[in-house]
Amino acid sequence: MTPDDTRHRPHRFMESKGLALVALCSAVLILNLDLTIVNLALPDLVRQTGATTTDLQWVVDAYNLVFAALVLVAGSLSDRLGRKGMLLAGIGVFSAASLAGSFATSAGQLITARAVMGLGAAMNGPAWQAITPELVGDADLRAAVTLNGAWRGRTPLTLDALPFGTYVVRVVQDGFRVAREEVTLSARDASHTIDARLERIGSSATARSHPAPAPGRGAVPPPASLTGSLYVDSRPRGASVIVDGKSVGVTPLSLADVPAGSHVVRIEMEGKRPWTSTALVTAGKRTPVTGSLEDR
């Protein structure tokens, strides 16, 4: 590993797994606890704010209603803007609304605070679910990817909205030789798939990149005990589905015999912004993935 590659290690947020996991668990506990804990305070709310029965119903439901309405939108934004940033922003919104709610002097103020807390919870939900597999899954077994020297994530990885030009892609994994490939994106070649085969340090062969094997040409299906199924849907339906850089059909779509592990799922439709996420397939189980496509 060269000094240029060792500079671009994963963020401390991902390296300090223990602290990150504790923080995630604390955030999730607070968010889920707030779904029902307000019921215990309803008698006190009546005495302190003079809330009516209708007001109490809104105090309880404002949080759940906003959370359910915005969680899919927040998930889409989290994939585009960054999950860590969305998680921290959601915690900030939730905390600020909780503080404001503690000083509420009327039922209307409390209902508003609860609605904003639901917004914070919606921002947190998809983000922590996407980050958790990175902390407790097989992140150490997946290689780091740098683009022009900047850390961009771990494999498998899809990078969207890159300007046309030439990029130096490095795939870095401890104990393996660094795979390096120069990619040029243009109007004629706007997408590129890299399948990097890393060689262990000490091996006579050098790390190199190979095109992914075509179906039926040397591709050996994994054992059934190591596969699961993937169900992909979209809103609206009829969108093209691309899994790990390969087009597999249109939504709604069920895929059987999918190798267990992380897979990059991309959903595209003309006139809509592409949606990309990572699906963690578990052996013997069905993993649902639903993308919400937005207008360009």
Decide if 210 contacts 195 (C-beta within 8 A): yes
Torsion angle defined by CA atoms of residues 207, 212, 217 and 222, in that order, rounded to the nearest 10 degrees: 90
Question: Is the per-residue pLDDT at 276 higher than 80?
Answer: yes
Mean pLDDT score across all residues of the chain: 77
Q: What is the mean pLDDT of residues 254-268?
A: 85
pLDDT band at 96; cut points 50, 70, 90: very high
In this predicted structure, the answer to whether residue 123 has a pLDDT above a threshold of 70 is: yes
Tokens representing 222 are 């994994």
Does this model's pTM top 0.85? My answer is no
Flag the least confident range among 43-47, 202-206, 225-229.
202-206
Give the strand pairing for 227-235 and 286-292. parallel
- Given a cut of 70, is residue 127 above it in pLDDT? yes
Give me the pLDDT at residue 7, please: 42
- Checking if the pLDDT of 84 tops 90, the result is no
CA gap 226, 215 in Å, rounded: 19
**What superfamily in CATH does domain 222-296 come from?**
Carboxypeptidase-like, regulatory domain (2.60.40.1120)
8 A C-beta contact, residue 69 and residue 120: no
State which CATH number among 2.60.40, 3.90.550, 1.20.120, 1.10.1220 fits the domain covering 142-211.
2.60.40
In this prediction, what percent of the chain has a pLDDT beyond 70?
Answer: 80
Q: What is the pLDDT of residue 137?
A: 55
Sheet holding 253-259, edge to edge: 253-259, 227-235, 286-292
- Domain layout of the chain by residue ranges: 12-136, 142-211, 222-296
